[in-house]
Amino acid sequence: MLPTKSKRNVKPTRGKAALAEPPIVPPRRVIIPRPDVLHNYLDHKQICQYMDYLCNRYPHFVRSYTLGLTHERREVRALEINWMNSANVELSQQLRQHSPPQVYLPANSKTPCPVVIKGEQCRNTIFIEAGTHAREWIGVTTALNCIYQLTERHTRNIEVLRKLRFIIVPLVNPDGYEYSRNKNPNWRKNRRPHKSTKFVGTDCNRNYDIFWNSGTGKMNRNTYKGERPFSEPETRALRSMLDRLGPNLLFFLSLHSYGQSIMYPWGYSRDPPLFWRELSTLANSGKCAIKSYNGREYRTGSISCLTKRTIAGSVVDYVYGVLRVPMALVMELPSRDLGFQPPVEMISQIGHESWYGIREMCKRAYDLRHQIQRETEPALPAAAIYQAGAGDGAGNEVVAMESKPAAAATANTDEPQQATPKKPKKRVKRSVRAQHEYILKLQKSSKAAAAGARLHPRQMPKVASAPPARLPGAHGDGPKLPLGVFL
Ligand SMILES: [Zn+2]
């Protein structure tokens, strides 16, 4: 049946005056369906749709940016949540006076980056990224939960919103993520093929320009560092925003799985950073918040200590070392028994508990902002020394577990290691659980040996922890760790 013209919609025209005034048409609101972010692993398209939905629903404080395109032409998107901007009509007059001055470009502007704020309050931005490693789906949902909390639940989180600006990149590596969803759930790298070889993909968390050379140059490895620093479109996309926003960044958080730990730099060196106490305080605030929420126990410490290996070219080291952002952490989410992709029933639980910890860390970062002055910091420590010929950033000798990094400052890690004769590789298949049990045993024995010798674990002679028995499933010439623990 054809629609007929309703008489009520036709306005009567009375004389010339009526003809001169065009009817006022209210602006049409675009309706974008909201994907269910809390109970599903969304695909890349749905994630973009959710971001579009939020920009449409909360135009006064949410904006979306495309940072770049991947090899398979997918968008790397960032969402800016900035309650304290002058366009926010919900902001009270008093708060508006104290908000930093900003100039917003028109909504249709193709600016690739949020506006850099100038002035006293410039260090107020929290940057959260996830989805660098394709198979770590739970990191993506947790980042989306942060977005959900700061937008759809903004009244509950108004305290942090009134102090801080948030920029969240929930999916850094969409190509790898889609491949992991559809073809190989255990895929870690991106999907850019290497010319004249059969190998595909680079580990985006080894591709940043900080001691990049120390990473592995073997294309078949899961932690392949790439042809050169920033050779990958994903890392270039993130860099485009990080470099520009560097002066505004207060706290950078990288979400990964699975290790149930909150870690601070350095990854590439076993030396602790100058402000390790503040970083440790920050990490512990998140740990305590999560424990009070549901009793889950996180571990805290430096990356090189907790993963028991040195990792060069990671985004956290880049942000902390090159951009000199005051605070930067990695959060390895809990799914130890469940793998990288816990059942969908766990998504909201892990998301909510993590948000509790992340929010607490954001508050603490704000409180610590005046205590960290990195301008006067001396040069970065040298990279840890690698075994000759190995060329593998993941491979290193056993470093005993440290619980208190205080004494670590005195540890001399620049001493050349004594070459040990190489043993033939023996591959034994073990379950992930067995691997974890093995690591715990190894840590206990290292601690006991350190206590016996009255030395800090870091000061242990290398032979004390020998022989570093190998765990299967990982790579490098050092101790083998389960796949989830290498960031
Ligand atoms: Zn990871």
Query: pLDDT tens-digit profile of 331-388?
Result: 999 867 878 999 999 999 999 999 999 999 999 999 999 998 888 788 888 886 543 3
Predicted local distance difference test score (pLDDT) of residue 224: 95
- Asked, for residue 138, whether it belongs to a domain, the answer is yes
pLDDT of 2 strictly over 80 = no
- Which of the residue ranges 20-29, 110-119, 178-187 has the most confident prediction, judged by mean pLDDT? 178-187
> In the chain, what percentage of residues exceed pLDDT 90?
56
Are 129 and 143 in contact by the 8 Å Cβ rule? The answer is: yes
75 strand-pairing partners: 69
Residues with CB under 5 A from ligand 1 (ion): 133, 256
For residue 365, the CA-to-ligand 1 centroid distance in Å is 23
For residue 120, the CA-to-ligand 1 centroid distance in Å is 35
C-alpha 145/C-alpha 148 separation (Å) is: 5
For residue 390, the CA-to-ligand 1 centroid distance in Å is 22
DSSP H/E element including 75 = strand 75-81
* Residue 72 C-alpha from the chain's centroid: 22
For residue 358, the CA-to-ligand 1 centroid distance in Å is 17
Predicted local distance difference test score (pLDDT) of residue 12: 46
Average pLDDT over residues 452-459: 35
Strands 249-257 and 125-129: parallel
C-alpha 469/C-alpha 479 separation (Å) is: 7
∠ CA 339-309-334, rounded to 5°: 25
For residue 135, the CA-to-ligand 1 centroid distance in Å is 8
For residue 486, the CA-to-ligand 1 centroid distance in Å is 7
Predicted local distance difference test score (pLDDT) of residue 475: 26
C-alpha 439/C-alpha 227 separation (Å) is: 33
Beta carbons within 10 angstroms of residue 4's beta carbon: 6
Residue range 375-428, pLDDT digits in tens: 878 888 888 654 333 333 333 332 223 233 333 333 333 333 333 444 444 444
Instruction: Write down the catalytic residue from 129, 234, 278, 332.
Output: 332
- Which of the residue ranges 241-250, 336-345, 374-383, 452-461 has the most confident prediction, judged by mean pLDDT? 241-250
- Asked, for residue 171, whether it belongs to a domain, the answer is yes
CATH code at 48?
Answer: 3.40.630.10
- Asked, for residue 393, whether it belongs to a domain, the answer is no
- Asked, for residue 422, whether it belongs to a domain, the answer is no
Which pLDDT band holds residue 32 (cuts at 50, 70, 90)? confident
- Asked, for residue 61, whether it belongs to a domain, the answer is yes
Active site (annotated) includes residue 75: no
Average model confidence (pLDDT) across the chain = 77
- Asked, for residue 442, whether it belongs to a domain, the answer is no
- Determine which of 25-29, 197-201, 226-230 has the lowest per-residue pLDDT on average: 25-29
For residue 263, the CA-to-ligand 1 centroid distance in Å is 13
Q: Specify burial of residue 458 (Cβ count, 10 A radius: 0-12, 13-18, 19+).
A: buried
Domain around 146: 44-376
For residue 404, the CA-to-ligand 1 centroid distance in Å is 25
- Asked, for residue 205, whether it belongs to a domain, the answer is yes
Q: For the chain, what is the domain count?
A: 1
- Asked, for residue 439, whether it belongs to a domain, the answer is no
Predicted local distance difference test score (pLDDT) of residue 100: 55
